[in-house]
Structure 1
Amino acid sequence: MARIPTVDLTSYLLGGQLSRHGCLRVGRASFPSRAAIGQTRRFSSPIQGSPSTPTSNPPVPLRKQLKDQARALKTSGYKKKKKTDNQTVPGWELTVGIEIHAQLNTARKLFSPAGTSFDDKPNSHVALFDLAIPGSQPIFQPETLIPAVRAALALECDIQRVSRFDRKHYFHWDQPAGYQITQFYEPFAKDGRIKLYARDGIATEDGEQVTVGIKQVQMEQDTAKTMAMAGESHRIDFNRVGVPLIEIITLPEIHHPATAAAFVRKVQLLLSSVDACTSGLEEGGLRADVNVSVRRTDDPSGTLGTRTEIKNLSSFKAVEDAVIAERDRQIAVLEAGGVVQGETRGWSVGSIETRRLRGKEGEVDYRYMPDPDLGPVVIGEQLIEHLAKSMGTLPDGEVDLLMSTFGLTAKDALALKSQDEGVRVEYFYNVVLRFEGHFQHTDVPAELRHKRYLLAANWCLHELGKLVKASNELGWTEDGECVIPSASLAEILYHLYEKKITAKVAKEILWMLFRQEVPGGDVGAVINTMGLWFRELSKVEYTELADQVAEGEDKVLSEFLRFKEGKSKVYPHGKLMFLVGKMMRAGPEERMDPESAERVMRTRIDEVHIPSLQSKV
């Protein structure tokens, strides 16, 4: 490797000046090496290019990547098995271990006072130690321990009173010191476990629940962020160097691809619920590596097969798809008489196979050694007890509460808990509290209360979800409020539940609230001003409308006659809904209630139209 002149390195790394406040300041760029982002080319001199160097193409959204890949696979004629049919391969056993790197929610880096903001100018939050400037020393930032311990407690780990840091040596341009500080030998947490239930999305082969053991949780520092540019150039943002991470290492106890994806999803939910992690998998706050091996089920030795590691999976779907692809690849190699090599492999969004990246490094390759510049981390019992008491209800407990007390399905309960970093479920509680406050009689049957709760959950999840698709911004606050006040939504639901407004009007008012077109959020005033109160048709008008749409529908009505005469054992509910739909289209929609229309149509069929058909026969 060619030697780089010191003056060039100084300009490249420091912008020509040292900060008096402990972080690096970037001088005004007069040539590319003093730009906010460093630039390098294949480990050679980073001083290349010109101010007019073209930037890389804008990132393609994940959803579009998936659609493009699916379209390409369909064109090629490739047919993918259904996930439910692809969890096992007869005669083979799959074993998966997972390593999850989660970025801790802290204001400072692990060993320097530099900030952890990533929305600021590149290389604007970099301390001397982050760049391994000679003479700089690591200083452990105690506040980084708080979210780490909270995460370990949520994972049911045993917190170690004394832990130590080690150096993991490897050379890459994103690692200025040539080593990463981690906790390989004496991590701060061990022997955890996570219970996964059927509602979490585990494979049906795992039954109602499965427990996955966690070997250890260790603190470590992150690397720099590498950005590919046009041609062969790369730019490096050192803001991410030294950002505190925890690495969660499981035992090899997962045996189905869907369960692997469910595990990563559950870990993300747990970390979010205790405010330990900055963001989720697809936002980059979590990174998952999976270790995959296979062996024959009739293997008398009982030893696990050679494992390969798939790095940096960026979505739950990618976890499941990559495990399936690598399992099938290893089985094909072994059935052909080959040998599975221990190696690191990659995965691209929408792929159907993994690709080799490099040979698998081992403990010897990394030359682990205790860090000589850092003392032990001692965690007091009082801190552990305080954090354990302040964590609140964990996801499983809250999901159980939503299902038992509010009558929600497991799917809706999980969706409420997992969306918007747990704030959506707080909004639901606020809406329910205010919704129930509109009713004078609180002593009502549980079935009636559950009907109200389900209505509130449906609007908090699905109707608000339609607004999010339009703008991706609801302005959530920590206390469970957004641009649509919970009191205003509760009032809408009360009028809708009491049939004082139609569903169409309710949705229109919701959009008005979203666009902030309702002064003070006063829903009642808007309904009065715009004359939106529901004036339902009379029973006579419903009856006339029902008879009108049933006229000439003898073929449809004959299905009801067959059921009444016992020639069909299934009530033709679909035919009933067909006739009700005709009623809703034929009449004034703003004055019609679907339930009333269905009730009248069912009565007219039984009392008038079936007897009429019988007389014709």
Structure 2
Amino acid sequence: MPRLRVATLNKYLLHGQFSTRGCLRSQVSLRSAITQNPPPPITHWAFQSRTLQTESISAQTNDAPSTPHVPLRKQLKEEAKKQKSLKKKKKKNVNNQVVDGWELTVGIEIHAQLNTARKLFSPAATSFNDDPNSHVAYFDLATPGSQPLFQKETLIPALRAALAFNCDIQNVSRFDRKHYFHWDQPSGYQITQYYEPFARDGRIVLQARDGIAAEDGDGVSIGIKQIQMEQDTAKTLAQPGDVHWVDFNRVGVPLIEIITLPDIHHPATAAALVRKIQMLLSATDACVSGMEAGGLRADVNVSVRRTGDPSTPLGQRTEIKNLSSFKAVEDAIIAERDRQISVLESGGKIESETRGWSIGSTETRRLRGKEGEVDYRYMPDPDLSPVIIGNDLISHLRNSMGELPDTEVDELIERFRLTPKDALSLVALDGGKRVEYFWTVSDLLALRFGSNPNSPERLPVYRLAANWILHELGRLTSERSEDAAQDLGFTEDGQSHRVPAQHIADIIFFLSQRRITAKIAKELLWAVFRQKIPDEYATIEAVLDEEKLWFNGLTEEEYVELACSAAEGQDEVLKQFVGYKNYPQGKLMFLVGRMIRLGAEERINPREAEKVMKRVLEEKLIPAISN
């Protein structure tokens, strides 16, 4: 419970008759009186005191109008409501990218866990789900006499990542020691590349489709100062009673630290950059997992300065550590920006410090003062030789890089006319495996079409396939509780263990040809996911044949008759179609819904029903009600 002010207590205690005047003098007089005249037993003294106080209050209140007594709890509750009502409504992030009169500057440091089988300086295996402390070498525990041994295969994914970020690879790089003491770093220092990293001067271009702030226009280019290799620390597991367990399996796991230039000026753009970096790391197979699984962590450096004078130096920056989601990056930057502006506007000074952020919070919190370079006592590691990277290796990796996400997104948009959002989602999901699945499905659909598979009239079918692969497949693992834990099992060759590409291609083909309804198509997809196909039925066509699920649509006459039946008794609705200013589309769909409920749903095509109902309204029903 927060500390109560004396003024609050004064209003409440003794019905508001409590006076603070002369308290000290009264206490002195009372103490001397007690010494000269010893009080009766405590219980009697307390009773007398309460009696005298009550009589005094009664005497005072007889001369003044009585006020109703309000309990303290209720007073505090009312005060909290009042304060809450005075607070400004929080802006949505999309409308909270800029503060008038102030410029935000952000630089980001991203730690990504490399996809390697061995640790950085020992032959111990990298482990994530194995028993604690089961993959630990002598050097990982800083055992006296043990030496670091650079595992050269860890360099390959790091180089792939650096090439994807358009960095200049340094032929010679060296390792340094960064000194600090904590139980998760047994040697008392971390080995990193501070002075001579293996990659410098990179650049990432973000486009509007990447989710940057609207204020950045069509695109923005963000520089990368350097990328350095370093070792991870142990994993700490908090236990009850201020006890911590330490798992040294993670000590020495290879990381890269990606350090950007302070080129970011809007929170949404910062989040978009982290998202793009994760996508590139996944596309190059450089990173083990993304932010959602803890394989990628972001630290953001935030500063503000007043606008209007270009010569004004950048403001004092603070660092927010270990942000674990894209939303956290944006929200934390907004909160810290607003805090710094508030401090400066009130005449305060921004301190160089490290701050923390909790999901769902509205404010950053101070963790500690910010360490400087001198505090870490950087020095070259005397036990490690320089890393020499040949130009032949760099050329080989650059030539074998493959297609990067931006190129693939452009191709999906141009070839299939997908929306940028859908194209990006396909490329980003499941580490690029979902887009491979889409390519497989599109190839199978092209075989179904035979001639002219890429003609313009085929494009809606491919877009339907993309929609199902993004959304309908997602519902398989998110809706029904008994299947929620199941994985779709996408593979790198464009297949799925749970939903084979051939089956979903067949479903989408029959749906696009209007040979099955959308409802039947979704039930077929569930049957495939639950392994009923091919366990109980060999193919999709076999299910449709045996269960008689082919769409047997109504005739034109049956549609017209059903439309007339749906409109019976709906005169008030029909009147809204007479002399309308804005076409009542909602009322039209209401009538179509009645058609579907009155008829055989499995035989009704909603689009055809809408078309017939509109024609019946125009030709029969509206003229009849107008007369």
Report the TM-score range of the alignment, normalised by the length of the smaller protein. 0.7 to 0.9
SS of the residue corresponding to residue 289 of structure 1 reads strand
d(CA) in 1 for partners of 2:160, 2:453: 40
Larger Rg: 2
Choose which of 240, 252, 260 in structure 1 pairs with 2:262. Answer: 252
Decide whether the 8 Å contact of 2:190 with 2:230 is kept in 1.
yes
Does residue 577 of structure 1 match 2:589?
A: yes
Amino acid at match of 1:528: D
Q: Is residue 556 of structure 1 aligned with residue 573 of structure 2?
A: yes
Higher helix share: 2
Q: Choose which of 214, 217, 224 in structure 1 pairs with 2:234.
A: 224
Listed one character per residue, the Cα deviations across residues 257-277 of structure 1 (whole Å, up to 9, x for unaligned) are 111111100100110011000
Alignment of 1:197 with 2:212, yes or no, is no
The amino acid of 2:401's aligned partner reads: M
Change (3 A) 1:444 1:371: closer
Inter-partner Cα distance in structure 1 for 2:223 and 2:531: 49
Return the match for 2:488 from 428, 452, 474: 474
The one-letter code sitting in structure 1 at the alignment partner of 2:521 is: A
1:5-39 residue CA offsets vs partner (Å, 9 max, x unmatched) = xxxxxxxxxxxxxxxxxxxxxxxxxxxxxxxxxxx
Residue 571 of structure 1 and its aligned partner are, at CA, apart by 3.0
For residues 495-550 of structure 1, what are the alpha-carbon distances to aligned partners after superposition, in whole Å with 9 as ceiling and x for unaligned? Answer: 11111111111111111111101126511111111111111111111111101111
Task: Report how many aligned residue pairs link the two structures.
Answer: 537
User: Following the alignment from structure 2 to structure 1, what is the Cα–Cα distance between the partners of residues 241 and 104?
Assistant: 40
Whether 2:218 is the aligned partner of 1:208: answer yes
Q: 2:560 — aligned with what?
A: 543
1:402-451 deviations in Å (ceiling 9; x for gaps): 111011101111111111111000111111111221123326641x1210
- 1 CA distance for matches of 2:184 and 2:359? 23
Shift in Å, 1:552: 2.8
CA 1:215–1:491 in 2, change beyond 3 Å: closer, same or farther? same
**Counterpart in 2 of 1:507?**
522
Q: Are 1:123 and 2:140 counterparts?
A: no
Q: Deviations over 1:331-388 (max 9, x none)?
A: 1110110100000000011110011111101111100011111111111111111111
Is 1:234 the counterpart of 2:244 in the alignment?
yes
CA apart distance, 1:298: 2.8
Q: How does 1:241-320 map to 2 (within 5 A)?
A: 241-299=251-309, 301-320=311-330
Greater mean alpha carbon deviation, residues 343-352 or residues 530-539: 530-539
Which moved further from structure 2: 527-536 or 113-122? 527-536
The change in CA–CA distance for 1:432 and 1:367 in structure 2 (over 3 A counts) is: same
- Between the aligned residues of both structures, percent identity stands at 66
**CA deviations over 1:177-205 (Å, ceiling 9, x no partner):** 10000000010000011111111111111
Structure 2 residue aligned with 1:450 = 459
Question: 1:163 maps to what in 2?
Answer: 173
Q: Provide the rounded CA distance (Å) in 1 between the counterparts of 2:400 and 2:567.
A: 63
CA RMSD in angstroms, aligned pairs only: 1.6
Structure 1 position 76, deviation (Å): 6.5
Tell me whether 1:489 sits opposite 2:498 in the alignment: no
Structure 2 letter corresponding to 1:451 = P
1:36-92 CA-partner distances (Å, limit 9, x unpaired):
xxxxxxxxxxxxxxxxxxxxxxxxxxxxxxxxxxxxx9x977642111221111111
**Inter-partner Cα distance in structure 2 for 1:409 and 1:577:** 27
> Shift of the alpha carbon at 1:253?
0.7
Could you list the runs of 4 or more consecutive aligned residues of structure 1 that deviate by over 3 angstroms after TM superposition? 75-79
Looking at structure 2, the residues matched to 590 and 382 of structure 1 have their Cα atoms a distance apart, in angstroms, of 64
Report if aligned partners of 2:175, 2:193 keep a CA contact under 8 Å in 1. yes
Contact 2:447 2:453 survives alignment (8 Å): no
Query: Structure 1: which amino acid aligns with 2:491?
Result: T
How big is the shift at 1:472?
4.2
Distance in 2 between the 1:82 and 1:536 partners? 47
- Which of 350, 363, 370 does residue 360 from structure 1 map onto? 370
What is the CA-CA distance between 1:306 and the residue it aligns to?
Answer: 0.2
How many Å separate the matches in 2 of 1:364 and 1:162? 25
Q: How does 1:38-187 map to 2 (within 5 A)?
A: 79-187=89-197
After superposition, residues 384-403 of structure 1 pair within 5 angstroms as 384-403=394-413
Quickly say closer, same or farther: Cα 1:472–1:261, change in 2 above 3 A.
farther
Structure 1 unaligned spans of 5+: 1-72
TM-score where L is the length of structure 1: 0.85
Measured after TM superposition, the shift of residue 551 of structure 1 is 2.0
The residue that corresponds to 2:30 in the other structure is none
Give the equivalent residue in structure 2 for 1:609: 621
